[in-house]
Amino acid sequence: MVALIPNERSDWTAEENDLIVADYFAMLGAELSGEDYVKARHARALDQHIGRGHKSIEFKHMNVSAALAELGLPHIRGYRPMANYQRALFPALERYLDAHPNAWTLGQNLPTAAVLGAAQAEQPANPTDGVENAGTHYVGPQVQAPAFSSVVIPTHLPPSATPRRPRPDGLVRLVRKYDPATRDNANRALGRLGEQHILNHEIARLVAADRMDLAKKVEWTADVHGDGAGYDIRSFEPDGSDRLIEVKATRGGPTTDFFLTRTEREVSEERPDAWRLYRLHTLPVTPRLFVLPPPLEASVRLEAENWRAAF
């Protein structure tokens, strides 16, 4: 049952949707750059212009959050994604993203000092303190993970564990046009940041399990040996058995599409006892994680994207 939203007296016009999208990105840019802003003031200013009411405007902002999460973009933390879309929102998002290509870089860099400090304040002390060289010899010089990534990242059930509506046609077209899976796959800095978050996560998990000996052996396989092993990190279960981790990172939400290579799928089938896919989303400020075990077909739809031609 769809909840009724106050002042939804008629469908939003193209101009109203353009205003709500532009205002959303203004707030998102301020949030990700560490600038102060007040959501209520933005809502009041919009209400004075379009007369839709504070609650209706907030609900529309949550619609934008839901769409951006599917497109591989971060969303405003105070506006949780709500997917009861009005179709006219999708053309407004398309108009904005086509006119503002810099929107794709929002949240791409590491958090500012202010955001990082706030995140650190919410976390317990680094559980790897005193673990001599734990994983550090695998840390590349180009990416330094924030200190707060050294604690266990909050985990939740994968989207497949809960019923999910199909994407509306307008959103399907936007995902196809902007292709967040390809964007994430090509963003090597994002991939390395995600892998280092998980490297530190695994070290912290083993330290918490009182397996300091195993914590020291966690390997950033993709950094040491390069891509192609079918997994990025070799970690361990507390009993000493292997945990082979393929990391898929995104700035978007948990249902953003991602790519899986032939080798990754083959290793998942050869080592279902050890191989795990770690989906790390909403990077970099509020990383969240869920884990998919083989067979992957139980959790996601696997679709052929292209074919290799050989003679």
**pLDDT tens by residue, 214-243:** 999 999 999 999 999 999 999 999 999 999
Binned at pLDDT 50, 70 and 90, residue 1 comes out as very low
In the block, tokens 């809502």 appear at 43
Q: Which residue type, as a one-letter code, is found at position 230?
A: G
The CB-side HSE value for 19 (13 A sphere, CA atoms) comes to 17
pLDDT at 247: 98
For residue 172, give Cα distances in angstroms to 178, 255, 257, 274: 10, 13, 11, 34
pLDDT at 157: 87
In the block, tokens 């799928």 appear at 265
pLDDT at 285: 75
Least confident residue range of 23-27, 82-86, 247-251: 82-86
**pLDDT tens by residue, 185-209:** 999 999 999 999 999 999 999 999 9
pLDDT at 203: 95
Report the alpha-carbon distance of residue 222 to residue 147 in Å, rounded.
Answer: 21
**pLDDT tens by residue, 102-155:** 999 987 765 433 333 334 434 444 444 444 444 433 333 333 443 434 457 888
Annotate 219-264 with three-state secondary structure: ECHHHHHCCCCCCCEEEECCCCCEEEEEEEECCCCCCCCCCCCHHH
What is the pTM for the complete model shown? 0.82
Summary mean pLDDT of the chain: 84
**pLDDT tens by residue, 19-63:** 999 999 999 999 998 899 999 999 999 999 899 998 999 999 999
* Number of residues assigned to the chain: 311
Q: Could you tell me which of 88, 278, 72 has the C-alpha nearest to residue 178?
A: 72
Binned at pLDDT 50, 70 and 90, residue 83 comes out as confident
Q: 290: which 2 tokens?
A: 């869920």
Q: 182: which 2 tokens?
A: 């390809």
Report the alpha-carbon distance of residue 238 to residue 260 in Å, rounded.
Answer: 27
pLDDT at 106: 87
pLDDT at 144: 41
Strands 233-236 and 242-249: antiparallel
Average pLDDT (286-297) is: 93
Q: 133: which 2 tokens?
A: 């060289």
pLDDT at residue 244 is higher than 90: yes
Burial of 68 (0-12, 13-18, 19+ CB in 10 A): buried
3-state secondary structure of 234: strand
pLDDT at 108: 75
pLDDT at residue 159 is higher than 90: no
